[in-house]
A and B are shown apart, each in its own frame.
Chain A
Amino acid sequence: AQSVTQLGSHVSVSEGALVLLRCNYSSSVPPYLFWYVQYPNQGLQLLLKYTSAATLVKGINGFEAEFKKSETSFHLTKPSAHMSDAAEYFCAVSDGGGKLIFGQGTELSVKP
């Protein structure tokens, strides 16, 4: 079975500050890991994905995530937050079969 835990349902940062959104996963098979972003009343947009290639994955909008097997983590980071980054972020895991298991989501607020 697979599961995802996102630590912190709400994260608030100042504009220009580091963004760190935490994600830990559980999987009995080598996982595929994803970060999605959801803006209000919109669908989900893929930020980045890990598929067993490089452990440091770069995504869109300046985001990146590092796969750490020893820590079963896939935290999302961005060096400098922008106001437009305010949204809900979801971490998800898959066994490669297409079905995604999502975390509860983290709402990111960016203060001017």
Chain B
Amino acid sequence: NAGVMQNPRHLVRRRGQEARLRCSPVKGHSHVYWYRQLPEEGLKFMVYLQKENIIDESGMPKERFSAEFPKEGPSILRIQQVVRGDSAAYFCASSRNPGQGNTEAFFGQGTRLTVV
């Protein structure tokens, strides 16, 4: 009964490269959320996806960031042309359909991105 699996746990990229962060939700969960935690700060919501759909992307930076959750496979958070300010921990969470009163989200252990 695996929880939310994120990989890689640590990722180092040079400025200008692309970063791909993967998230496999809890089995049976079709809702995925991405959060970013900057050093010394709390978690900030980025995007909420359901299978093949983006439900809420109000926290996503307008440029360079994109997310998907395909019908098959993990959810991917993609950061193009990374800059030093993108260095952070990125957490994925998953849940059942929250509209049915399933209010608990389970979190992965995060991917720590370092841009050098």
Contact = CB atoms under 8 A, between A and B. Distances in A.
- Does B bind A? yes
Interface residues of A, number: 22
B108 interface: yes
A44 B4 CA distance: 11
Contact of B91 (A44, A46, A98, A103): A44
Contacts of B43: 44, 90, 100, 102
A99 B41 CA distance: 18
A51 B103 contact: yes
A49 B45 contact: no
Interface in A25-55: 32, 36, 41-46, 49, 51
A100 B98 contact: no
Contacts of A99: 33, 45, 48, 56
Contacts of A32: 103
B44 interface: yes
Interface string A79-112: 0000000000010001011111111110000000
Contacts of B98: 94, 96-98
25 contacts: A32-B103, A42-B109, A42-B110, A43-B107, A44-B107, A45-B107, A49-B104, A90-B42, A96-B101, A97-B98, A97-B99, A98-B31, A98-B48, A98-B98, A98-B103, A99-B45, A99-B56, A100-B35, A100-B43, A100-B93, A100-B105, A102-B42, A102-B44, A103-B42, A105-B42
Interface of A: 32, 36, 41-46, 49, 51, 90, 94, 96-105
